[in-house]
Structure 1
């Protein structure tokens, strides 16, 4: 089985970590894996380490869509049975899945193009998912919400849209008391901090950290020792740090850099909070936290209801609703019996339905079915 991953970004988020892990797993299962990605990016570096053939291109010059870049992409695609392309936002008239379809068509390749998505953005065009060229294609949706949207709104034939959950590495994201001391050393917090909330992800408007900070102000009335860990990086980092000072939360918020090993964070936080405002699919951080027996409070977006069972594994709130977010955290922490039940339910759901090892196998089996 020959698989190409197209990852048109230099960023390092949940999707990119998943790609790097998929590459490693697929190679271990005997697949030949090529990764097509911008040079000097996080994906290029980590997938090379994992043993993949890495083909890179200039992130800025690719928007010219010239013959040189067509040849670079053709080099990666010609040796692949399937090409899995994460659907990223378009930039300067360039879109990775559209360009991949063009290359496959112009070079008359037999490669099956498979755009993969979990996030629905109404402004996105149908051709980001279903190529206009007469080439073979399928779409993988990582949430059922996304699958139904692609079929109902974009009118993509149902037989061309496959639901496969990405899952999480349940064995890795398992509570380990031996890691607590290491976690506390790496992530020092005030001694009396309780409950400890975690928000892990990029610092940008769509992630709603400003809403979370305002909700934290309200929580402190009933939870005076509540403490928030903001873990990540991104364009809004300095703005968020300034906001913390403005609303006098310096003693209640700690910033920590992006990590590819969030399991240590999950050892010390009590509740994971996802405060996103829009553009989410099925966030990996929710799966990871729930695997480590953490109840979650999350914005009700896209595929989130498929794992956050309201009142069973956590609480869902209206995106941007400061009062609802604050009240849900207070409610969850104030009822320890419910908290403990939710923690066990979250772990059980991950074990039964979202184990990444099983899901990697499902991806590969699907690719094999398409090429038989």
Structure 2
């Protein structure tokens, strides 16, 4: 795998070993396909923001532990079942994949040897070592599998494991990775509590640093309009059920009974997915970030009712465009959307409360404007990468002591 290195302007030779401003050699580990700091969409944009921000001061080498070639197909073969949704889940998270990713990360650390001071891994989908850590490491993550597995819905089977034994093995591997980390950086307090309560991680090692928005916020001088009657949703087609799209469609049908000219714009779904419902427009995946930004600017509000979603980036992006948000009160969403102030929180899988919240907003432009402004202010105060990195950086040198 190719590594892309970014060096700080300062020469590390001119700085003392314990100086907070000394440039460190950081190996960044990503479970996805991102191997450069050039990606601008999806999870890649988070990797770019995190490691690109660190690269302003430190030398960062980025490696992916994504399974490719023979390893990818071997995992599919090992996970095979006739039920396609279950096959997708089993191949995504299982003890074998965890161990293989850990081996790939361990090998990357070995290859760089003395050229690495610290390993920083995004997400807890593997350990950056096999046996014992070769270097001090930290994990930055938005979720834990025990938080995920605590959800139970009759309409959505969310188990990643074939049996209880496989579940326990995965929990053990995940817990070992967390407990041996010098620091765990979390997106929110929900994950911080899970680390200490569910995995027994020393509370002193777990720090909530938040997460930034990956879309440039709207110019504060722009006068946002709220008369379009357009509701926007962003989510991947592969997460159609998990993101609560069926509930959103059912709720929107109730909205149309009261507001016949309302529109629901769906972004990120497969263009082949046919949704024969009045007022619903499937725009497919929009890669052009400027076009996406303009669509959020033109919309009146953002809505999504996921069953499970650690910390949806689309909500932060909507708030950055001064949109009020209607969303499920699950996982880390209540730490982003303040009910009654920046939007409304509703139960998942209940179309009526969702519809009532949307109707309330669409019928009151002043309320949408005030909630949108408060959400925008909240993004600037709590969800910027400068704020995240400002909390992360002071811990980096202390992990080497």
- Tell me which residue corresponds to 2:119: 83
Deviations 1:67-99 (A, max 9, x none): 9845345325764333233336xxxxxx522xx
What is the alpha-carbon distance in structure 2 between the residues aligned to residue 173 and residue 284 of structure 1?
A: 13
Structure 2 CA distance for partners of 1:274 and 1:2, relative to 1, 3 Å:
farther
- Tell me which residue corresponds to 2:346: 317
1:207 to partner: Cα distance = 0.9
The farther-off stretch of 341-350 and 66-75 is: 66-75
Deviations 1:283-340 (A, max 9, x none): 2211121122110001111111112111100001101111111111111111222211
Q: Equivalent residues in 2 for 1:33-44 (5 A)?
A: 33-38=60-65
Partner SS state of residue 199, structure 1: strand
Q: Which residue, 23, 34, 40 being the options, matches 2:51?
A: 23
Does the alignment pair 1:272 with 2:316? no
Does the alignment pair 1:302 with 2:339? no
1:198 to partner: Cα distance = 0.8
What is the alpha-carbon distance in structure 2 between the residues aligned to residue 198 and residue 77 of structure 1?
A: 48
Q: Equivalent residues in 2 for 1:1-372 (5 A)?
A: 1-10=24-33, 14-27=42-55, 29-38=56-65, 59-60=72-73, 63=97, 65=100, 69=104, 71-72=107-108, 74-75=110-111, 79-87=115-123, 95-97=125-127, 100-102=128-130, 105=132, 109-118=134-143, 120-122=147-149, 125-127=170-172, 129-131=174-176, 135-168=180-213, 172-175=216-219, 194-203=228-237, 204=239, 205-233=241-269, 238=272, 241-242=273-274, 244-245=275-276, 248-249=277-278, 251-259=279-287, 261=289, 262-278=292-308, 280-372=309-401
What is the alpha-carbon distance in structure 2 between the residues aligned to residue 147 and residue 215 of structure 1?
A: 33
After TM superposition, the score normalised by the length of structure 2 is 0.70
Deviations 1:133-173 (A, max 9, x none): 99553222111111112212222221121111012258x21
1:271 to partner: Cα distance = 0.7
1:254 to partner: Cα distance = 3.1
Q: Which runs of 5+ in 1 are unaligned?
A: 42-55, 89-94, 181-192
What is the alpha-carbon distance in structure 2 between the residues aligned to residue 151 and residue 134 of structure 1?
A: 9
Partner SS state of residue 318, structure 2: helix
What is the alpha-carbon distance in structure 2 between the residues aligned to residue 66 and residue 218 of structure 1?
A: 46
Aligned positions, number: 324
Partner SS state of residue 148, structure 2: coil
What is the alpha-carbon distance in structure 1 between the residues aligned to residue 367 and residue 310 of structure 2?
A: 27
Q: Which runs of 5+ in 2 are unaligned?
A: 1-23, 76-96, 150-158, 160-166
What is the alpha-carbon distance in structure 2 between the residues aligned to residue 195 and residue 67 of structure 1?
A: 48
1:4 to partner: Cα distance = 2.4
Contact 1:179 1:264 in 2 (8 A): no
- Tell me which residue corresponds to 1:44: none
- Tell me which residue corresponds to 2:7: none
1:259 to partner: Cα distance = 2.6
What is the alpha-carbon distance in structure 2 between the residues aligned to residue 66 and residue 325 of structure 1?
A: 40
Once superposed, what is the RMSD of the aligned Cα atoms?
A: 3.4
